[in-house]
Amino acid sequence: MTSSPDGHSARQPSLATSTLAALGIVFGDIGTSPLYAFRECFAETGAHVPPPMTTSNLAGAASLIVWALILVVTIKYVLIVVRLDNKGEGGILALSALVRSAARRLGGRDPKTILMLGLAGAALIYADGMITPSISVLSAVEGLTVSTPLEKQHVVPLALVVLVALFAIQRHGTGKVGALFGPIVLIWFGTIGALGLRAVIGHPEVLASLSPHSALTFLVREWHHAFPLLGAVFLSVTGGEALYADLGHFGARPVRVAWFWIVFPGLVLNYLGQAALLSVDPSAIRAPFFLLAPDSLRFPLTLLATAAAAIASQALISGAFSLTTQAVQLGTLPRVRVLHTSDHSVGQVYVPAINRFLMVACILLVVSFQSSASLANAYGVANVIAMAITSFLFYPAARAVWGWPRWKAALVTGLFLTVEIPFVAANSLKIVHGGWLPLLVACTAMILMITWVWGRARLYAQLSKESLPIDALLSDLERGAIHRVSGTAVYMSGRGDTVPPALLHNLKHNQVLHERVVLLHVETLDQPYVDIAESASHSDLGEGMHRITLRFGFAESPDVPEALKTRLPEEARFQPGKATYFLGRETYGVGRNAGALDRFRLAIFAVMARNASAATAYFRLPPGRVVELGAQITL
C-alpha cells in the first residue's frame, strides 16, 4: 500500500499492469519510428543524398539502426541512466537537480552550469514534443494512401482530427490513458515483429545485420553518403530521452521489462524485415513499412498504425507535463495549473496550459509541412542535443551520486558521447532544411526560463533592500505600539529574517496586527518528494509571532493548509481553515537607470508574472480567507 497525494491509501498496481501501461505511455514514440526511419535512410531530401540501394547497403543501414538501439537506448538509457532517478523522478531537470543537491550535500558550491544544462535540455524536449505527434500521426495517416484510394489532400485534415482527439483525452491522466493505450501498443509490437519475421524468414541473409561488422563496413564503404545518413538512422532512437523523462510515471522496472521482452525484439525484427523487403523490391521504398504486409492486411495495419502513432505522441506529451511540474517547483517557470491524475503515483500529472500549447503547435506544424517526409528534416535535431546534454550531466551525477572515480565516470561518459556526437553532427545538416524550427522554439523556451530565474533573483534582492528586520517589529510589539486583533494571520515569507512586504502593507493601511502571526516560508527541495520528518520546521519568535517552513519536493503540489494541519508539532498547530492568508500582488516598474536589455527582460518577466496561476489556487488556500495586498516594486 502507498500513500496518495491527498493522504489516502491506494493499492500499488502489479508489475504486469504497470508494464502494460508503460507500453502505452513510454514506448509509443520509439515504437512508431519504423513508420519512417528506414524509409528516410534511402529517401532523397534536401539534407540527405542517399547511398545506392544495394543488398549490402540495406543490410548496413539495418545494422546501424540495430546497434543504435543497443548502444543508445538499451545500454545508455535502459541499463544505466534510468538508475539515476531522483527519488523515482527522471528527466533532464530531475537529473540536474540531483547533481546540484549532491554537490551541496558534499559541501561544494551550487553549480549554476548544471542548472543551465538542465534548462537547455528541458527546452529541447518541449521543442521535440511539438514535432513527435505531428510526424507520427502524419506518417501513419499517409499509409491510407497505400492501402486505400484516399487522396493525398485528405491526409492533413484527417491527421488534424486524430491530433485534436489525442490532446482532448489527456485530461483523464497518463495512468488511464496508458491503460487504454497499453493493449493497443502490445498488439502493435506483436504485429510489427511478426511482419518483420515473415520477411526475414524469406531472406535470412539479412540476419548478418545483427553483427556490428556490417554497420562498420557500410560506414567505410559509403563514407561520402554515410555521414548524412546518420541523421536518418537517429530517427530510430528518438524517444530515448522521453523514456527517461517519463520514468516518474511508472518506475524503472516496468520500463526495463517492457523494453527487453516486447519493444526491442519487435523493433529489430521489423527493421530487418524492411531491409529484406527492399533487397528484392527496391520500389517499395515509397512505403516499406506498409508494404511488408500482404494486400489484405494493409488497411487494418494502417488503422493500427494510426492508433499507434497517436499513442506515440504520448511519451513526449507526458514528459512535457512532468518537466513543467518540475520546472515550476524549482522556480524556473511561473506557476501553472497542475492536476494530479492518479491515486497511487504522484508523478502522473496533467498540465492544461502545456496541453493547449502543444496541440496548437502540432496543428500549425501539420498545416505548414503537409507531409512526414518534410517534417523529417526538422525532426531529431532537438532530441539528439538533449541526449548529448544528458550524457554531459551523467559525469557529475555518477561522481556525486554514485561516488564513481573520475576515470570510470569519464570512460562511460566518453563512450556515450562517442556514439552521440556523430549523430549531433549529422543532424546539424538538417538545420537549414527545417531543423532550425525546434532550435528556435527551444531557444525561446530557454530565454523565458532564464528570464524568470533572473527576474525572481532581482525581485528578491529588491525586496530585501526595502525590508524591515523582524527584531524591529518584535520591539514595537513588545512596547505595545501596534494594536492587536483576535485571530490568526498567515503571511507568505522569504527565508530571511525580515518582515514580509504584505505584512508591512497591512500595517501601513490597517494599522493592526492579529494576535497570532505566522510567517510562512514554502521551500522546494532538489528532490521529488520530502520525508515527513523533514517536511516542516517551527520556531516561536515571541509576541505571538511564529516562523514556519514547509518543505515540498519538486514533483509535489504544495497543499499549504493540509501541511499546516498535519506536519506541525502539537504545540504549534492551529486551524488553518479559519486563518486569514495575506498575499502580496506586485506590479513591476523599471528603474530609470535600467539599460535597454534589462528593460526588455523585465518586460518579459512582468508579462510572465501577470499570467502565472494565482497563489491561492497553487498553494490550495481557501479562497474566501485570502486577502491580497497590492504594491508597486521598481526593479
- pLDDT tens-digit series, residues 464-475: 777 788 888 888
pLDDT at 178: 58
Q: Which of 1-15, 60-74, 392-406, 433-447 shows the highest mean pLDDT?
A: 60-74
Could you tell me which of 69, 480, 479, 556 has the C-alpha nearest to residue 325?
556
Cα–Cα distances in Å, from 572 out to 65, 497, 531, 582?
A: 61, 20, 19, 19
Question: What's the pLDDT band for 3 if we cut at 50, 70, 90?
Answer: very low
Helices first, then strands: H and E counts in the chain: 27, 10
* Segment 154-186, tens digit of pLDDT: 888 888 888 888 888 777 665 556 566 778 889
Question: What's the pLDDT band for 411 if we cut at 50, 70, 90?
Answer: very high
Return the percent helix, strand and coil in the chain, to nearest 5. Answer: 65, 10, 20
At 361, list the grid cell: 503547435
Question: What's the pLDDT band for 46 if we cut at 50, 70, 90?
Answer: low
374 backbone dihedrals φ, ψ, rounded to 5°:
-70, -40
Query: HSE (CB half, 13 Å, CA atoms) of 269?
Result: 20
pLDDT at 148 over 70: no
Query: Which position has the higher pLDDT, 315 or 611?
Result: 611
Compute the average pLDDT of residues 127-146: 79
* Segment 195-226, tens digit of pLDDT: 999 999 999 999 999 999 999 998 888 877 77
Of 35-44, 229-238, 460-469, 597-606, the one with minimum mean pLDDT is 460-469
Domain with CATH 1.20.1740.10 in the chain: 11-453
- The pairing of strands 339-340 and 349-350 is antiparallel
pLDDT at 632 over 50: yes
Share of residues in the chain with pLDDT > 90 (%): 16
pLDDT at 8: 39
pLDDT at 347: 52
* Segment 530-541, tens digit of pLDDT: 888 788 888 888
Query: Which position has the higher pLDDT, 278 or 249?
Result: 278
Question: What's the pLDDT band for 10 if we cut at 50, 70, 90?
Answer: very low
pLDDT at 108 over 70: no
CA–CA gap between residue 316 and residue 618 (Å, rounded): 25
pLDDT at 613 over 60: yes
pLDDT at 340: 66
At 353, list the grid cell: 496550459
CATH number of 11-453: 1.20.1740.10
* Segment 476-510, tens digit of pLDDT: 888 888 888 888 899 988 766 788 888 888 888 88
